[in-house]
Amino acid sequence: MKPLYTAEALASGEGRDGNARTNDGKLDVTLSSPVELGGNGQGTNPEQLFAAGYAACFHSALRLVGRKERADLTDSAVAAKVHLGQLDDAGFGLAAELEIALPALDLATAEALVAKAHQICPYSNATRGNISVDIRIMEFAA
């Protein structure tokens, strides 16, 4: 792979209950475990950051393929859910869900664009074969 851009971040403190920041200072967040995992839930957590990144990246890929296909992407949106769970071997794993809204398109066109976006999105390429990713189109024109 020929790198086009490199993001750099540093996590410090107590991991899930510490701090994460980028080397350019544009992101500097307090991390805290969610209440569901026994934390105080006062900060963000790695799964939220991953969900935000995946949603933004997939939406960008969708917009790229949509422009190439001259599709109407009015009010398009991508919502991501990232699940943290325990694996059978006592380790931890992730699973993701993407909910995609393409209200200006018919279902067949939306499905074709989503499939193309899934092939070029860097997050999709990184997760493919590694974690479960469930993709659903939530809205479409009749």
For residue 81, count CB atoms less than 10 angstroms from its CB and return exposed for 0-12, middle for 13-18, buried for 19 or more: middle
62: containing domain: 46-141
Tens digits of per-residue pLDDT, 102-125?
Answer: 999 999 999 999 999 999 999 999
Pull the structure tokens for residue 57.
Answer: 């990246």
Regions of the chain short of the pLDDT cut 50: 142
Query: Are 25 and 92 in a shared domain?
Result: no
Res 142: pLDDT: 46
Query: Are 63 and 125 in a shared domain?
Result: yes
Res 57: pLDDT: 98
CATH number of the domain at 40, please.
2.20.25.10
Query: Are 66 and 89 in a shared domain?
Result: yes
If one counts the domains in the chain, the total is: 2
CB atoms inside a 10 Å sphere around CB 54: 25
Query: Are 7 and 72 in a shared domain?
Result: no
CB atoms inside a 10 Å sphere around CB 113: 25
Pure H helices in the chain: 46-69, 107-120, 122-127
Res 141: pLDDT: 53
Q: What is the pTM of this model?
A: 0.93
